[in-house]
Amino acid sequence: MRLLEEKIISEGRVLSDQVLKVDSFLNHQIDPSLMNEIGKEFAARFANDGITKIVTIESSGIAPAVMAGLYLNVPVVFARKRKSLTLTDDLLTASVHSFTKKETNEISVAKKYLSQDDQILVIDDFLAVGQAALGLVEIVQQSGAKVAGIGIVIEKSFQQGAEKLKELGLRVESLARVASLSNGEVQFMNVQVEELV
Ligand code: 5GP
């Protein structure tokens, strides 16, 4: 997605060979008009898949997921990372090791928000080694619902997450695919950085 790739080039900061910081539009401050376009793009890619609900994970998955939910006209459920006093219903849970925070969280969704009739689109901000997406898939599968696909805003294609998910037969649609973060530079799959304004 050209607009997103341009934004990554102009505002992203390469923190290391492994980590890209995009705090100015996705992970801290949020660019609503970019999120609107991202939502539109996810909705277009999954328009014919009978999606009934979107599942994401707090906090950075919520903005793109809500915009996709708006265009697909379906509700959005976000998995919680911490136990909440108000989250007292029957829960579906999975264990997720965070790539950036180096900690393991139990993520949970109330059972009542997923049913076996649902066709779920899983959305997240980043795909690295695939732990977050796999945790969400596990929760969806526990409910008996079907995972129709996985929508990722920024895939780091040099890490194993996308491959792992595809090996499981899951469809992955990533709006920007980063081939490398070496030497402090972002390289995309199939796009020359010089083409981007
Ligand atoms: P995974 O579970 O696929 O290893 O990592 C995905 C999660 O880790 C995402 O939900 C995202 O929050 C975080 N993450 C992974 N890599 C990056 C990165 O390079 N930059 C940022 N900002 N977050 C990342």
Give the pLDDT mean for 92-97. 94
Average pLDDT, the chain: 95
Looking at the chain, the whole-number percentage of residues with pLDDT higher than 70 is: 96
Ligand 1 atom at minimum distance from 61 CA: 10
Query: What whole-number distance in Å separates Cα of residue 9 and Cα of residue 22?
Result: 10
- The torsion of the CA quartet 78, 84, 88, 91, rounded to 10 degrees, works out to 40
| Residue 114: pLDDT over 90 | yes
Q: CB under 6 Å to ligand 1: residues?
A: 19-22, 27, 60, 98-100, 124-133, 156, 161
Predicted local distance difference test score (pLDDT) of residue 192: 79
| Residue 99: pLDDT over 80 | no
The residue whose CA is least distant from atom 11 of ligand 1 is 126
Confidence of residue 127 (pLDDT cuts 50, 70, 90): very high
| Residue 11: pLDDT over 70 | yes
- Ligand 1 centroid to residue 142 C-alpha, Å: 23
| Residue 84: pLDDT over 70 | no
pLDDT digits (tens, 9 = 90+) for 137-187: 999 999 999 999 999 999 999 999 999 999 999 999 999 999 999 999 999
Ligand 1 atom at minimum distance from 131 CA: 2
How many C-beta atoms surround the C-beta of residue 42 within 10 A?
Answer: 28
Predicted local distance difference test score (pLDDT) of residue 197: 64
Which residue(s) pair with 121 in the sheet? 54, 149
- Ligand 1 centroid to residue 151 C-alpha, Å: 14
Task: Ligand 1 pocket test: pick from 4, 24, 30, 125 the residue with the most ligand atoms within 8 Å of its Cβ.
Answer: 125
Query: What whole-number distance in Å separates Cα of residue 90 and Cα of residue 112?
Result: 8
Query: What whole-number distance in Å separates Cα of residue 180 and Cα of residue 102?
Result: 21
CA atoms within 13 A on the CB side of 160: 7
pLDDT digits (tens, 9 = 90+) for 23-63: 999 999 999 999 999 999 999 999 999 999 999 999 999 99
Predicted local distance difference test score (pLDDT) of residue 139: 98
Residue whose pair of structure tokens reads 């994970």 in the numeric block: 57
- Ligand 1 centroid to residue 127 C-alpha, Å: 6
Contacts of 182 (CB under 8 A, 6+ apart): 17
Query: What whole-number distance in Å separates Cα of residue 86 and Cα of residue 55?
Result: 19
Predicted local distance difference test score (pLDDT) of residue 85: 62
Candidates 101, 114, 120, 97; CA nearest to 46 is: 120
The residue whose CA is least distant from atom 15 of ligand 1 is 128
Q: Any idea which architecture 32-82+89-179 has in CATH? A: 3-Layer(aba) Sandwich (3.40)
Ligand 1 atom at minimum distance from 161 CA: 3
Predicted local distance difference test score (pLDDT) of residue 102: 85
- Ligand 1 centroid to residue 99 C-alpha, Å: 6
Confidence of residue 89 (pLDDT cuts 50, 70, 90): confident
Candidates 101, 94, 150; CA nearest to 127 is: 150
Q: Are strands 119-127 and 146-156 parallel, antiparallel or unpaired?
A: parallel
Ligand 1 atom at minimum distance from 181 CA: 19
Task: Ligand 1 pocket test: pick from 13, 80, 100, 131 the residue with the most ligand atoms within 8 Å of its Cβ.
Answer: 100
Query: What whole-number distance in Å separates Cα of residue 102 and Cα of residue 99?
Result: 6
Residue whose pair of structure tokens reads 């609900």 in the numeric block: 53
- Across 1-5, 8-12, 57-61, 78-82, least confident range: 78-82
Looking at the chain, the whole-number percentage of residues with pLDDT higher than 90 is: 88
User: Under a CB-based contact definition with an 8 Å cutoff, are residues 127 and 72 in contact?
Assistant: no
Rounded to 5 degrees, φ, ψ at 93 are -135, 155
